[in-house]
Structure 1
Amino acid sequence: MSEIINNREQLTNTSNKRQAILKQIFKDLHDGKSVTEVKAHFDAFIGKITIEEISRLQHDFGDLSVEEMHRLHSKHTEIFKDAIEEIEKTNKPEEQPGHPIHTFILENKELDKLVNDQMQRHVHEFQIEDNSDNVFTLLEDINLLFDIDKHYSRKENLIFPYLETYGIFGPTTNMWRINDFIRDAIKDARLKLTSYNGDKQAVMDVLNFVIQEVTTMIYREVNILFPMALNNFTEDEWVKIARESDEIGYCLIAPTEVWKPERHELEEKAMSEGFIKMETGILSLKQLELLLNHLPVDITFIDQDDVVRYFSHGKDRIFARTKAIIGRTVQNCHPPRSVHVVEDLLADFKAGRKDTEDFWIKFRDKYVYIRYFAVRDESGNYIGTLEFTQNIDPIKAIEGEKRILS
């Protein structure tokens, strides 16, 4: 028995030592050491790295500039490249059509063809001659690439929440930031091409940046994020992710089949027909849910601990919501660059400085009115926040009067 205990202690010590070395490697990169020097250190003391070890690393870089964030992530990719141990699996659900990872990989193949075959060729032609035809061709490529937002949104809203439940937070914050950098660069490329003024180098720079970052993100997903998720998620969680993917949409292609696991098919839980007695009436759970879903607004409720507890599910939702956000803190449901706005608003509600806050924005073809209400009990204690979202275009268009049914 003592021999077994000693072996376990030795394994634990080895694991802790490797984690300490890995943390030092990231610190060295952050402090400006060259990739060559750090890579030599990595090869000598680590060699091969597992997805589990990567998932245990906490990459908290704080408030870095866009350029610094890209520098670090590019170096991380160089360090890990060809060093990740492959995991042998006898049954690979990700190879089954309709499985979320199967769909993500198909999308990545299409994205790779778009940026590294099609766009690369068109960038070269533009570099030779920046005539209107070549500008228009690149603009068509960029418009296609805008579809990447759906790929990233599914990753952020369906994959990241489940990773967090397993205590894996690195990809949630840092990969989301890089996704946003790529989105911004694609928008910048479209703007420069739409209003092309002859500054060829500026266009070349942003297009090459987009191609490089999209390609690097594909590598990170395939070699780090997807294996990390496959190592942790249950079959039931994958089924839920597959079912909720349709609401967000797909990038360049769509799954041709519905994934049906061999083990079993999840049965929908029948909703209880119990009744709820309220101060002003009695409703069944079914009636209450239908009532909330038929409101001409979208509502979301988070509790006093900032955890998302409920959202209505009307047929014309303005912003996509998936069931994966239930039980997740609201801070982790927003892009990192906008989290401070959410935290400031909640702090004002909790402190009693405010009871409401309103915003209004143009979103696609809608004029969206977003309202937040502090929910308090009879004693004035804060118990949560209600988000209320409505397309007010039809209301703004109202003129005159309508007194009777027409």
Structure 2
Amino acid sequence: MSEFINNRELRSNNPNKRQAILKQIFEDLHAGKNVAEVKAHFDAFIGKITIDEISQLQHDYGSLSVEEMHQLHAKHTEIFKDSIEEIEKTNKPEEIPGHPIHTFILENRELDKLANITIQGDLGEFVQADSPENVLKLIEDINLLHDIDKHYSRKENLIFPYLETYGIFGPTTNMWRINDFIRDAIKDARQKLTSYNGDKQAVIEVLNFVIQEVTTMIYREENILFPMALNNFTEDEWVKIARESDEIGYCLIAPEEVWKPERHALDEKAISEGYIKMETGILSLKQLELLLNHLPVDLTFIDQDDVVRYFSHGKERIFARTKAVIGRTVQNCHPPRSVHVVEELLADFKAGRKDTEDFWIKFRDKYVYIRYFAVRDENGKYIGTLEFTQNIDPIQAIEGEKRIMS
């Protein structure tokens, strides 16, 4: 295998030696070595692995195809299976109704039943007879499974940012990629079913893929991601995550109750009544915040270092934002597959090649106009980027004139 794995004495508690072995194990997997052989080396020289050790393993698989990523993550799961040490906890917040992890796990139980009982059963009937009735059953199932987007969005926008503040990046980017693969497969399954043309095998393959990946992701969350978060996050951070979860929504179920920590909940920071003097007027901080939140658009500002510093909090945001993104780099707030677009845009703004860039997309039931502005000071120095997002469906629907009040 390698010079690292040639001596059973290396199976020790020395963290540097163990990390060297683990690094080589993953390089061997990446190079295509036999999984059974690598697993045997893992069992012989590592045995049990801790969540902390997993969190230190960072991988960049950006050049791999979707299929290669899936194959590699399946190998990772096979290596770790039944080898992760349990974290001893006298108080288990994940068992308290309303705690974010308790809710995530309840959702996973529902997702597991939906994927492995309902969809699996209806798929079996479809295999026997691809009648319109059996196709319709699967369409209803996959429409329910589409709710998984809220489960993954809470994970990406609330769990991942806090992990990154602890210097844990390994699970975030790669797990987000897998989340997107699952989302895409669910959309593909729905498209194949809603426009079913008799290609039974294509439907069977995509649904089997969805069932397998959803099930494997449940294992990764409950055995790696959630223990990692529980091992690091403070109660204050869990309180913030619980409060912001409502903004994104829940998957298939809702929290059993509002979580009330044993200690007093965090006091909301009162908005200062101080005033800000600007060139064209004076506003209190309260007035300024209310003014920005009443605009019929979403605003987000990132500074010159690409760090998210502010977003408006209107009644109906188009894209989910949580307070956990504040202080996070904008690259880590976007799905990995779209990060290159963000970086290219920011590079153009910083170099002075562009001052604005516009996009318009169909998003769910909205037609969304997204505008980016380079923010520069009076000397032309770049100090950040403003993102301006608006649902323009109502504007496009305007006809004629309106000259009197409603």
Alignment of 1:306-385 (within 5 A): 306-385=306-385
Q: Which residue pairs with 1:150 in the alignment?
A: 150
Alignment partner, residue 181 of structure 2: 181
User: Which residue in 2 is equivalent to 1:28?
Assistant: 28
306-315 or 56-65: which moved more?
56-65
Alpha-carbon deviations, 1:77-97, whole Å to 9, x = none? 000000000111110111100
Amino acid paired to 1:30: H
CA distance in 2, matches of 1:141, 1:99: 28
4+ residue runs over 3 A deviation: 10-13
Distance 2:212 2:269 in 1: 45
Name the SS of the counterpart of 1:384 in structure 2. Answer: strand
Query: Aligned partner of 1:94: which letter?
Result: E
Report the Cα distance in structure 1 between the residues aligned to 2:74 and 2:356, rounded to whole angstroms: 42
The equivalences for 1:55-204 within 5 A come to 55-204=55-204
Q: CA deviation at 1:318?
A: 1.0
- Deviations along 1:279-304, one digit per CA (max 9) or x if unpaired, are 11111000000010011111000000
TM-score, structure 1 normalization:
0.96
Identity among equivalent positions (%) equals 87
Aligned equivalents of 1:13, 1:365: Cα separation in 2: 55
Q: Once the 2 structures are TM-superposed, how far is the Cα of residue 11 of structure 1 from its aligned partner?
A: 12
Alignment of 1:231-242 (within 5 A): 231-242=231-242
Quote how far apart the aligned CAs of 1:13 are: 7.9
Deviations 1:114-137 (A, max 9, x none): 111111111111111111111111
> Which is worse superposed, 124-133 or 14-23?
124-133
Task: Report Cα offsets for 1:258-294 as digits up to 9, x if no partner.
Answer: 1010022111111110111111111100000001001
In the aligned structure 2, how far is the partner of 1:11 from the partner of 1:269?
Answer: 50
CA RMSD of aligned residues (A): 1.3
Give how far 1:23 is off: 0.5
Shift of 1:400: 2.0
* Matching residue's letter, 2:71: R
Instruction: Tell me if structure 1 keeps the 8 A contact 2:150–2:251.
Output: yes
Asked if 1:264 corresponds to 2:240, the answer is: no
Q: 1:274-293 counterparts in 2 under 5 A?
A: 274-293=274-293
- Distance (Å, rounded) in 2 between the aligned partners of 1:324 and 1:281: 31
1: CA distance between counterparts of 2:127 and 2:158? 39
CA positional deviation for 1:256: 2.2
TM-score by length of 2: 0.96
Corresponding position of 1:398: 398
SS at match of 2:14: helix
1:228 corresponds to 2:225: no
Question: After superposition, what is the alpha-carbon deviation per residue over 1:36-94, rounded to whole angstroms, capped at 9, x for unaligned?
Answer: 00000000000000000000111222311001000100000000000000111110111
How many residues end up aligned between the 2 structures? 397
Taking the aligned partners of 1:264 and 1:215, their CA distance within structure 2 comes to 37
Gaps of 5+ in 2: 1-9
Letter in 2 for 1:52: D
Matches of 1:121 and 1:271, distance apart in 2:
54
Q: Distance in 1 between matches of 2:298 and 2:199?
A: 44
TM-aligned CA deviation for residue 12 of structure 1: 10
Q: Which amino acid in structure 2 is aligned with residue 286 of structure 1?
A: K
